[in-house]
């Protein structure tokens, strides 16, 4: 015996998501069956509408429902600084923290020759076009710490060198609130390398 | 700044599921946005159709797309034995294992006076009606081990006492393949209590 077809299909659909194994998929499917029909219809509609309505912001590449994303249209943002991130979702890591009030630029990845990803595959020329008019004074690279991220940073610094803009990179080091004991050697090395004088 | 509305809504919908926190919901929403539209539409349709099409089997209460569930319509099942489970999903625990070829009966819970759940709230009268014709020789209670499960078992045994049927309960004991060291005292007590003579 198997699941009734409609149930089998729902379980299979949940199981397509990363991190959701067969047992979790079954649990989510049964939870679905215990919900009211309007609630489930709302979920189904949210799925369909999300892929329909969301597309990359024409300026920064972040998620937008209109031509421009909420950050790019906001009159409150500092237009002189652009934070370059790898993926669309990285924008929300910064937004949630509330520590950055400039604009973003989603690269769409990092330079990785082994994976056949060069600058042409990324939104590099779009970044240059945004920086060229001279309004942007600083480009902050916030890629995930990795060799590819470093390469990408160096490439951007070289590419933007002829323009009147400073290219910086977020600091890597020991995270706040964590115990030194848990820091991996690479992070410790970076933290040591980037040490600063204590001013008295 | 917030998420674009369509994204915020999708994340909120994922977060309604048990075991899915805000971070996982965001991850699932972004994964959705990276999928092809036909794939996401298929998921949306599977959700809507599952709640539309699935309802309790008129005989046993398990999930069915037609009047009767796949087990109840199968000519291969032993109709003399009924395994009583608490929830619809428990049926699949047995079905997956392939160790039972009789029929099921979904009670819809266990007797729990503290929660205001008496026999009237459960599918007890339906079980009596299935047993009354005399074709069923054994009713096997497979509720989750708990005081309420015991109470329910005793109640069913009393209720069915006047009918020519044996009421049994699945054995509780030390699970196969686990180390004795990890057995909790209550399970050990049950395992000891239900010890059997070794035949030579």
% of chain A surpassing 70 pLDDT: 98
pLDDT for residue A176 = 80
Q: Which of A34-43, A93-102, A185-194, B7-16 has the lowest mean pLDDT?
A: A185-194
Provide the CB-side half-sphere exposure for B133 (13 A, CA).
8
Report, as an integer, the average pLDDT of B127-146. 91
> Is residue B131 a contact partner of residue B114, using CB atoms and an 8 Å limit?
no
Task: Give the residue from A107, A119, A103 showing the smallest Cα distance to A68.
Answer: A103
Q: Is the pLDDT of residue A1 over 60?
A: no
Report, as an integer, the average pLDDT of B139-159. 87
pLDDT for residue A179 = 78
How does residue A200 score in pLDDT terms, banded at 50, 70 and 90?
Answer: low
Which residues numbered 91-120 in A keep a CB inside 8 Å of some CB on B? 92, 95
Task: Give the residue from B81, B86, B83 showing the smallest Cα distance to B145.
Answer: B86
| CB contact A65 to B (< 8 Å) | yes
Report, as an integer, the average pLDDT of B21-42. 95
CATH, domain range A60-169: 3.40.1360.10
Write the residue in A12, A32, A53 that is nearest to B6 by C-beta: A53
pLDDT for residue A198 = 67
Best to test chain B binding among A3, A4, A25, A91 (most B CBs inside 10 Å): A4
Report, as an integer, the average pLDDT of A103-112. 93
User: Is there a contact between B44 and A39 if contact means CB atoms under 8 Å apart?
Assistant: no
pLDDT for residue A71 = 95
| CB contact B195 to A (< 8 Å) | no
Report, as an integer, the average pLDDT of B30-37. 95
Contact list in A for residue B38 (CB cut-off 8 A) is none
Q: Is the pLDDT of residue B200 over 70?
A: no
User: Is there a contact between A39 and B30 if contact means CB atoms under 8 Å apart?
Assistant: no
d(CA A43, CA B47): 8
How does residue A186 score in pLDDT terms, banded at 50, 70 and 90?
Answer: confident
Q: Is the pLDDT of residue A2 over 80?
A: no
Q: How far is CA B7 from the centre of its chain?
A: 34
Q: Is the pLDDT of residue B187 over 70?
A: yes
pLDDT digits (tens, 9 = 90+) for A139-177: 998 887 788 888 888 899 899 989 999 988 888 887 887
Q: Is the pLDDT of residue A188 over 60?
A: yes
> Strands (DSSP E) along A39-107, which ranges?
55-56, 63-64, 81-85, 103-106
| CB contact A37 to B (< 8 Å) | yes
Homologous superfamily (CATH) for B5-53:
RecR Domain 1 (1.10.8.420)
Higher pLDDT, A43 or B154: A43
Contact list in A for residue B83 (CB cut-off 8 A) is none
Look over chain A and give the mean of its residue pLDDT values, rounded to a whole number. 90
Write the residue in A44, A52, A65 that is nearest to B4 by C-beta: A65
Write the residue in B7, B30, B64 that is nearest to A4 by C-beta: B64
The residue ranges of every structural domain in chain A are 5-53, 60-169
d(CA B93, CA A68): 50
How does residue B106 score in pLDDT terms, banded at 50, 70 and 90?
Answer: very high
Say yes or no: ipTM exceeds 0.85: no
């Amino acid at each position: 015996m198997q699941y009734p077809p409609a149930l089998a299909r729902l379980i299979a659909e949940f199981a397509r998501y990363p991190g959701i194994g067969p047992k979790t998929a079954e649990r989510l499917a049964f939870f679905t069956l215990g919900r009211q029909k309007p609630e489930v219809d709302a979920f189904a509609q949210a799925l369909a509408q999300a892929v329909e309505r969301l597309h990359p912001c024409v300026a920064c590449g972040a998620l937008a429902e209109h031509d421009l994303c909420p950050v790019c249209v906001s009159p409150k943002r500092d237009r002189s600084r652009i934070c370059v991130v790898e993926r669309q979702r990285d924008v929300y890591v910064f937004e949630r923290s509330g520590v950055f009030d400039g604009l973003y630029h989603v690269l769409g990845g990092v330079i990785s020759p082994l994976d056949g990803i060069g600058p042409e595959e990324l939104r590099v020329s779009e970044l240059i076009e945004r920086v060229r008019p001279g309004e942007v004074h600083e480009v902050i690279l916030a890629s995930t710490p990795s060799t590819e991220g470093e390469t990408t940073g160096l490439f951007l610094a070289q590419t933007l060198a002829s323009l009147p803009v400073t290219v910086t990179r977020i600091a890597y080091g020991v995270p706040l609130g964590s115990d030194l004991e848990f820091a991996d050697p690479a992070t410790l090395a970076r933290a040591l390398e980037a040490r600063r004088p204590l001013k008295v």
